[in-house]
């Protein structure tokens, strides 16, 4: 096994940077490692239009510094204006549209209540080549929370792909073997992101010695066989699977609470974390495609020219960074990025 690995600077194809003080606190961690990132639009006031994305982009650039390119998304609602979204894409403000089923996760109350309502918008996006990024979970109270992704595939995603095969789709933060199979067997217009926490942890981690709120995210961690399917997909060399951290900070008091928020803040050590997962699978040679090449290929963007080097070196992760608990808090990681 090599002790160093030099790869083109990666991008993060799914991140939550928030706004205000939190944005200023977290954006530098993403900008330190990633050249570009797909910025999620689920702010307290969702980023639903091209105009809102444009002003949010300016705030992100101010917080992250000049070496980082935020790629903006618009939050799809039942009443989204297709013409505005398509114009935003044409003019380079919007990279993609994000579909949250209403009430699926943090700040998703304004999300889509019925996919039928947004079919005209999705058809226009397919026509324009504008990607749709999907939080793939049904929200029905009678569906077990661990089954919500698999049920979403059957009820929503498979019919959508059949109806609009030209629509370019990223199935975000896949968490199940069913999602891996669906993406693997799909055509070239469907891809998926995989987070570091879903590669490292199964649902046992949520209850290891007591309730572990910092491992709670959505989609929730699944059984070990699903984790293994995700590792197999990420390390397969298939260009359909690429890096998306879903780094999602919440103040420690909102995580360690009677009703704790969903989200793992993994931005500070995300690349080291992915390297550890690939190393454990004996697949370090596959990290470059996953982290640096397959995302740009799907989004029709160039691979970054600058490089990053990963070295096998003990890297302690602090218990806290400010008001936030990072993924792997208190652990010593085996890789270091420079």
Contact residues: Zn ion, CB under 5 A: 246
Question: Dihedral (C-alpha) 86, 87, 93, 98: value to the nearest 10 degrees?
Answer: -20
Distance of CA 296 to the CA centre of its chain: 15
* 227, 180 Cβ separation under 8 angstroms: no
Distance between CA atoms of 199 and 300, rounded to whole angstroms?
A: 26
Which positions touch ligand DOR (CB under 6 A)?
A: 16, 42, 105-106, 135, 217-218, 248, 262-263
Work out what residue 321 binds among Zn ion, ligand DOR, none; the CB cut-off runs from 5 to 8 Å by kind.
none
Which H helix or E strand runs over 333?
strand 332-337
- Report the 10 Å Cβ neighbour count for 91: 10
- CB-nearer residue toward Zn ion: 8 or 196: 196
Residue closer to ligand DOR, measured from CB, 206 or 297: 206
Please state the closest distance from residue 105 (CB atom) to ligand DOR, in A.
4
Q: Are 12 and 245 contacting, i.e. CB atoms less than 8 angstroms apart?
A: yes
Could you tell me the smallest distance in angstroms from the CB atom of residue 244 to ligand DOR?
Answer: 11
CB of 33 to Zn ion, least distance (A): 18
Closest approach, Cβ 188 to Zn ion, in A, equals 24
Annotated active-site residue in 154, 246, 279, 285: 246
To the query of whether residue 3 is one of the catalytic residues in this protein, the response is no
Chain position carrying tokens 């970054």: 304
Q: At closest approach, how far in Å is the CB of 184 from ligand DOR?
A: 22
Q: Name which of Zn ion, ligand DOR, none residue 105 binds, using a CB cut-off of 5 to 8 Å depending on partner kind.
A: ligand DOR
194 contact, one of ligand DOR, Zn ion, none, CB 5-8 Å limit per kind: none
- Closest CB to Zn ion among residues 248, 308: 248
Residue 61 has which token pair? Answer: 């650039």
Helix or strand holding residue 120 (H, E):
helix 119-128
Q: Which is nearer to ligand DOR, 137 or 279 (CB)?
A: 137
Q: Which residue has the tokens 């994305």?
A: 53
Partner from Zn ion, ligand DOR, none contacting 160, C-beta within 5 to 8 A by type: none
- In the bound state with ligand DOR, the residue whose beta carbon lies nearer, of 217 and 275, is 217
Report which secondary-structure segment, H or E, holds 171: strand 169-171
- The span from the CA of 158 to the CA of 168, in Å, is 13
d(CA 178, CA 187): 16
What does 106 bind: ligand DOR, Zn ion, none (CB cut-off 5 to 8 Å by kind)? ligand DOR
User: Where in the sequence numbering do the catalytic residues fall?
Assistant: 246
């Amino acid at each position: 096994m090599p002790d160093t690995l030099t790869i083109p600077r990666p991008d993060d194809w799914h991140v939550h940077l928030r706004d205000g003080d939190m944005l200023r606190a977290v954006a530098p961690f993403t900008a330190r490692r990633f050249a570009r990132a797909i910025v999620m639009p689920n702010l307290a006031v969702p980023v639903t239009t091209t105009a809102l994305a444009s002003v949010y982009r300016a705030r992100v650039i101010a917080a992250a510094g000049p070496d980082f390119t935020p790629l903006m998304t618009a939050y799809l609602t039942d009443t989204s204006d297709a013409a505005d979204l398509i114009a935003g894409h044409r003019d380079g403000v919007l990279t993609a549209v994000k579909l949250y089923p209403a009430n699926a996760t943090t700040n998703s109350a304004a999300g889509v209540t019925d996919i039928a309502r947004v079919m005209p918008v999705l058809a226009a996006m397919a026509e324009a080549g504008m990607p749709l990024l999907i939080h793939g979970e049904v929200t029905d109270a009678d569906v077990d929370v661990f089954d919500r992704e698999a049920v979403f595939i059957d009820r929503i995603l498979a019919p959508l792909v059949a109806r609009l095969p030209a629509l370019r789709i990223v199935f975000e933060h896949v968490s199940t073997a069913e999602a891996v199979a669906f993406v693997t067997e799909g055509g070239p217009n469907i891809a998926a992101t995989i987070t570091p926490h879903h590669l490292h942890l199964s649902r046992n981690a949520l209850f290891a010695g007591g309730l572990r709120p910092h491992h709670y995210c959505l989609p929730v961690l699944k059984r070990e066989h699903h984790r293994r399917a995700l590792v197999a997909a990420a390390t397969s060399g298939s260009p359909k699977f690429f890096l998306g951290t879903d780094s999602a900070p919440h103040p420690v008091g909102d995580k360690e609470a009677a009703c704790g928020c969903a989200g793992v803040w993994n931005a500070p050590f995300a690349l080291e974390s992915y390297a550890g997962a690939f190393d454990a699978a004996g697949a370090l040679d596959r990290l470059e495609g996953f982290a640096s090449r397959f995302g740009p290929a799907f989004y029709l963007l160039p691979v970054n020219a600058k490089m990053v080097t990963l070295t096998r070196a003990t890297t302690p992760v602090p218990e806290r960074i400010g008001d936030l608990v990072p993924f792997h808090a208190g652990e010593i990681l085996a890789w270091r990025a420079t």
